[in-house]
């Protein structure tokens, strides 16, 4: 209020001062012009006495009473005014000014004398702080100028007068402003007093005071309305606060539920505009700039009509499955209603079933592989057994022994398969009891290489083991690590041709001991490398079965190594060989005691 009043008064006073100063200057300006006209007429100027343009006529004019009076007047006023007379060729025939007329002023005089239709012109020059009054002596308005009277008036006196007026107005503004502040302050104190009461009562309420204890004494009975306002205000705030807290709690619950859902949620209004998209939904559908129902599902190439889902209860296509990039998504659509029981929009729940589909495919493939692996040896056993039992066939002892050896080989194959399956089942259900001890990994590698040297020599292979550094003792299940190394080494020997090389390196990097097995065998295609640790996966199924493999060796090796805190990686190039790196963490007794 104080600011508004002060600004209003200030604007009024400033406007009045500006108007007064402009008006005063205009009065001085017009007064000067009128004074000059009166003065010139008092000099007895007679334009008709100026005849033909000749030297004699010009001299006669200069000798008239006008020239004398003109010179006498300006000789007496030479401190503030200067007068000059210019002839028809703009030469100065008289002046009481010591300085010459400037070129710029001379150009303006000439231009006005030749072009101005007026009898006189007045110029207010702010740069030189002077008035310039020019009086043109002509026979008539259309005839050329006979001569020009130039009168210069210094504006110092006028400016001083205006400056005094400005000082007076400035002082007035200051006085009025002080008075306005005082008056406005008094008014504001009276106006804001009830508000101050409310503020103090609100502070008491905020501090936890009982609303019933907030009363006014007898001297404040005239302000009982303020108390009632405080009580009503407090009651209203309390109700609003309760409602807001309830709404906020429900909102927070809903946000927490949506944020932690593994499924994505999209919500659209009746216009098809996206009003909600959870982070999971944005990530699954790769939403960037799509903001409408049509844009989003056109991108997913789903043919669905929003109006049908919202308004047709018997429409059955409220669930759709779509493959988007590498994901398989199930989408559930349902409409929702607003507080008026009208349709408020559509909700879409996006469920990522990629892993479930993959697991289902793996389960089907696993069952098919197990069935096939069991069926093949069982068929062989059944066939050879029936042949042996056939009484009509006469077999010699060599043939019988051959058949029995086939039955024994297939039985052993089934035994290995069942044993591997049981071992994987134990891994899946965490039922393996690991016997972890400290042992020398380099010594274990040497022993395994010695055991398989004869197997390598049968194919004229060069099997060598190198200890590249001082390998610390490792803490792991020795039998399990031995099974892993044996499995990888036998695979290298098995899939490396005659006269091939199999190298085993043992070393230590940082906190891991490693075994690197390198061969120059047939290798594995690049597209098959990511799947070599899957159960029953074979790069060349026919060749693997022919060599007696079950397809479970590498998955078992991976489970054993990871259960002991290590890792197993494989690199391979078709026709050049394979490299397998097994890492086992190095631990000391101090580390174990601190864990």
Which sign, positive or negative, has the C-alpha torsion 25, 30, 35, 36?
positive
DSSP 144: P
Of 242, 199, 172, 234, residue with least CA distance to 17: 172
Average confidence (pLDDT) over 452-472: 89
pLDDT at position 367 is 72
> Among 3.40.1190.20, 3.30.450.20, 3.30.930.10, 3.40.50.720, what is the CATH number of 2-162?
3.30.450.20
DSSP 511: T
Fold of 261-352: Beta-Lactamase (3.30.450)
Average confidence (pLDDT) over 262-291: 82
- For residue 491, pLDDT over 50 is answered with yes
Q: What are the tens digits of pLDDT across the range 54-71?
A: 445 554 555 556 677 777
DSSP 385-420: HHHHH-TTS---HHHHHHHHHHHHHHHHHHHHHHHH
Q: Which residues contact 412 (CB under 8 A, 6 or more apart)?
A: none
240 band by pLDDT with thresholds 50, 70 and 90: low
Q: Give the span between the Cα atoms of 197 and 229, in whole angstroms.
A: 10
Quick one: which H or E segment has residue 40?
A: helix 2-42
pLDDT at position 54 is 47
User: Where is pLDDT greater, at 403 or 140?
Assistant: 403
Q: What are the tens digits of pLDDT across the range 109-149?
A: 888 888 887 888 888 877 777 888 888 877 666 667 677 88
Of 407, 410, 411, 412, residue with least CA distance to 389: 407
Contact, 282 vs 348, CB < 8 A? no
40 band by pLDDT with thresholds 50, 70 and 90: confident
Q: How many Cβ atoms are within 10 Å of 398's Cβ, its own excluded?
A: 8
Average confidence (pLDDT) over 270-295: 81
pLDDT at position 316 is 46
519 band by pLDDT with thresholds 50, 70 and 90: very high
187 band by pLDDT with thresholds 50, 70 and 90: low
Global confidence as pTM: 0.44
Residue percentage of the chain with pLDDT more than 90: 10
Average confidence (pLDDT) over 182-207: 66
Specify the CATH class of 359-428 in words: mainly alpha
Of 95, 138, 136, 96, residue with least CA distance to 112: 136
Q: What are phi and psi of 265, to 5 degrees?
A: -130, 130
> What is 436-594's CATH number?
3.30.565.10
| For the chain, counts of helices (H) and of strands (E) | 17, 17
CB-based burial, 23-50: b 16+ in 10 Å, e otherwise: eebeebeeebbeebeebbeebebeeeeb
- For residue 221, pLDDT over 60 is answered with no
Q: What are the tens digits of pLDDT across the range 304-356?
A: 777 777 666 554 457 777 788 778 888 888 877 776 777 778 888 888 888 88
Q: Give the span between the Cα atoms of 352 and 236, in whole angstroms.
A: 48
Q: What are the tens digits of pLDDT across the range 521-531?
A: 998 888 888 88
Q: What are phi and psi of 262, to 5 degrees?
A: -75, -15
């Amino acid at each position: 209020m104080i600011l508004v009043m002060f600004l209003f008064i200030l604007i009024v006073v400033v406007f009045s001062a500006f108007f007064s100063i402009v008006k005063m200057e205009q009065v001085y300006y017009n007064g000067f012009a009128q004074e000059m006209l009166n003065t010139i007429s008092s000099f007895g100027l007679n334009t008709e006495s100026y005849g033909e343009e000749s030297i004699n006529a010009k001299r006669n004019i200069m000798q008239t009473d006008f020239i004398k009076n003109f010179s006498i007047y300006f000789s007496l006023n030479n401190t503030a005014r200067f007068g000059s007379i210019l002839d028809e060729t703009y030469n100065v025939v008289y002046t009481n000014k010591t300085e010459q007329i400037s070129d710029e002023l001379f150009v303006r005089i000439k231009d006005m004398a030749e072009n101005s239709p007026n009898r006189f012109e007045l110029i207010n020059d702010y740069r030189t702080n002077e008035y310039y009054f020019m009086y043109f002596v002509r026979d008539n308005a259309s005839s050329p100028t006979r001569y020009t009277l130039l009168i210069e008036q210094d504006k110092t006196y006028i400016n001083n007068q205006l400056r005094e007026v400005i000082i007076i107005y400035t002082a007035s503004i200051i006085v009025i402003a002080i008075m306005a502040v005082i008056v406005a302050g008094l008014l504001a104190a009276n106006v804001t007093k009830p508000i101050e009461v409310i503020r103090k009562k609100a502070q008491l309420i905020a501090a936890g005071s009982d609303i019933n204890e907030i009363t006014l004494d007898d001297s404040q009975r005239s302000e009982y309305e303020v108390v009632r306002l405080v009580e009503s205000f407090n009651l209203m705030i309390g109700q609003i606060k309760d409602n807001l807290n309830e709404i906020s709690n429900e909102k927070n619950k809903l946000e927490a539920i949506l944020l932690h859902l593994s499924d994505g949620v999209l919500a659209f209004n009746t216009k098809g505009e996206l009003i909600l998209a959870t982070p999971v939904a944005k990530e699954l559908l790769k939403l960037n700039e799509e903001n409408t129902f049509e844009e989003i599902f056109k991108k997913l190439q789903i043919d669905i009509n929003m109006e049908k889902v919202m308004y047709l209860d018997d429409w059955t296509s409220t669930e759709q499955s779509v493959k988007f990039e590498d994901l398989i998504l199930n989408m559930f659509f349902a409409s929702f209603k607003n507080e008026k029981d009208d349709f408020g929009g559509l909700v879409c729940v996006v469920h990522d079933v990629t892993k479930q589909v993959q697991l289902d495919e793996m389960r089907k493939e696993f069952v098919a592989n197990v069935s096939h692996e069991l069926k093949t040896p069982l068929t062989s056993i059944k066939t050879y057994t029936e042949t042996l039992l056939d009484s009509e066939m006469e077999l010699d002892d060599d043939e019988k022994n051959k058949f029995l050896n086939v039955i024994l080989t297939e039985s052993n194959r089934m035994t290995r398969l069942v044993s591997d399956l049981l071992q994987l089942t134990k891994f899946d259900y965490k039922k393996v009891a690991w016997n972890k001890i400290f042992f020398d990994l380099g010594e274990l590698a040497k022993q395994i290489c010695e055991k398989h040297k004869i197997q390598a020599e049968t194919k004229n292979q060069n099997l060598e083991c190198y200890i590249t550094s001082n390998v610390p003792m490792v803490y792991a299940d020795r039998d399990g690590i031995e099974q892993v190394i044996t499995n990888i080494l036998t695979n290298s020997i098995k899939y490396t041709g005659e006269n091939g090389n199999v190298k085993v390196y043992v070393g230590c990097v940082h906190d891991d001991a490693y075994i690197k097995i390198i061969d120059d065998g047939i290798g594995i295609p690049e597209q098959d490398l990511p799947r070599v640790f899957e159960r029953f996966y074979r790069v060349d199924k026919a060749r693997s079965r022919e060599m007696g493999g079950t397809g479970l060796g590498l998955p078992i090796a991976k489970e054993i190594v990871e259960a002991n805190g290590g890792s197993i990686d494989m690199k391979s190039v078709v026709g050049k060989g394979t490299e397998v790196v097994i890492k086992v963490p190095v631990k000391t007794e101090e580390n174990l005691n601190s864990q």
